[in-house]
């Protein structure tokens, strides 16, 4: 499903000022990481502070990695999320069980039949394709073979979100070569994990806005 306009999600937000700046620059969605193993993890109180500064029409997405059901329910009870992103080995049934639209992240490992896996998550509102790493579940800054992502965009009825190794220097190429529904990035606009760099954020959106309509 190729879009007429490429959307942007800035993930790994930990500070209200970063959320406000990203939204001002044109982010369509902001991501909060509820995974203790991440350097960008936030708690519910931090999430509430970030939620409070997000303007209308900017979505808040909560990221989880192989969570327990009670963990997700606790976050949903504590802060309003517009969407949930599952970044582990969750089943389609688990992902769909919370009554909230969900994104299923697929880490593109060698030999993985990505189109077949996408088909099993037909209940998702979008599929996120990210680089595979043996240790980290995301935010690695690594890039995978984008030709596979372009193939998925052409063949899948679900919106495809491209992640992994994105930054200002390759934003235009990513949009032109893959034509994804959205770009999702974290480390490519940071000065350190969880701290967004205003200059890198601005440079990224300047590039994206050259080509998106």
Q: Which of 83, 130, 152, 184 is catalytic?
A: 130
Given a contact cutoff of 8 angstroms between Cβ atoms, the answer to whether 159 and 122 are in contact is no
Model confidence pLDDT, tens digit, residues 61-106: 999 999 999 999 999 999 999 999 999 999 999 999 999 999 999 9
For residue 27, what are the CA distances in angstroms to 23, 140, 201? Answer: 5, 21, 10
Model confidence pLDDT, tens digit, residues 139-192: 556 788 899 999 999 999 999 999 999 999 999 999 999 999 999 999 999 999
Return phi, psi of residue 189, to 5°. -125, 30
**CA angle in degrees (0–180, nearest 5) for 32-38-39:** 90
Q: What is the pLDDT of residue 63?
A: 98
Q: Which of 11, 83, 95, 152 is catalytic?
A: 11
Given a contact cutoff of 8 angstroms between Cβ atoms, the answer to whether 46 and 16 are in contact is no
Return phi, psi of residue 115, to 5°. -60, -40
Q: Is 95 a catalytic residue?
A: no
Q: Radius of gyration (Cα) for the chain, nearest Å?
A: 16
Helices (H), 13-165: 16-25, 44-51, 69-78, 92-95, 114-120, 146-155
User: Model-level pTM?
Assistant: 0.93
Q: Does residue 129 register a pLDDT over 90?
A: yes
- CA dist 20 and 58 (Å) reads 10
Given a contact cutoff of 8 angstroms between Cβ atoms, the answer to whether 75 and 81 are in contact is yes
The domain limits of the chain are: 7-211
- CA dist 172 and 5 (Å) reads 13
- Residues with Cβ within 8 Å of 94's Cβ and at least 6 positions away in sequence, in order, are 69, 86
Given a contact cutoff of 8 angstroms between Cβ atoms, the answer to whether 130 and 154 are in contact is no
Q: Is 11 a catalytic residue?
A: yes
Pick the CATH number of 7-211 from 3.90.650.10, 3.20.20.70, 3.50.50.60, 3.40.50.720: 3.20.20.70
Give counts: helices (H), strands (E), the chain: 8, 10
Given a contact cutoff of 8 angstroms between Cβ atoms, the answer to whether 132 and 144 are in contact is yes
């Amino acid at each position: 499903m190729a879009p007429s306009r490429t959307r942007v999600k800035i993930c790994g937000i930990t500070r209200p000022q970063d959320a406000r700046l990203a939204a001002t620059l044109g982010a369509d969605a902001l991501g909060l990481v509820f995974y203790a193993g991440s350097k960008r993890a936030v708690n519910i109180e931090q999430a509430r502070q970030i939620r409070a500064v997000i303007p209308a029409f900017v979505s808040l997405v909560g990221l989880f990695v192989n969570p327990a059901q009670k963990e997700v329910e606790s976050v949903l009870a504590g802060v309003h999320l517009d969407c949930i992103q599952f970044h582990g080995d969750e089943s389609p049934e688990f992902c769909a069980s919370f009554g909230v639209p969900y994104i299923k992240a697929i880490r593109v490992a060698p030999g993985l039949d990505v189109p077949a896996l996408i088909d099993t998550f037909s209940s998702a509102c979008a599929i996120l394709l990210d680089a595979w790493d043996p240790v980290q579940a995301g935010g690695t800054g690594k890039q995978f073979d984008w030709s596979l992502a372009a193939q998925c965009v052409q063949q899948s009825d679900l919106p495809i979100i491209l992640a992994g190794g994105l930054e200002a220097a390759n934003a235009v190429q990513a949009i032109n070569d893959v034509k994804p529904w959205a770009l999702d990035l974290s480390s490519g606009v940071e000065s350190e994990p969880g701290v967004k760099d205003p200059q890198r954020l601005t440079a990224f959106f300047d590039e994206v806005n050259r080509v998106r309509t």
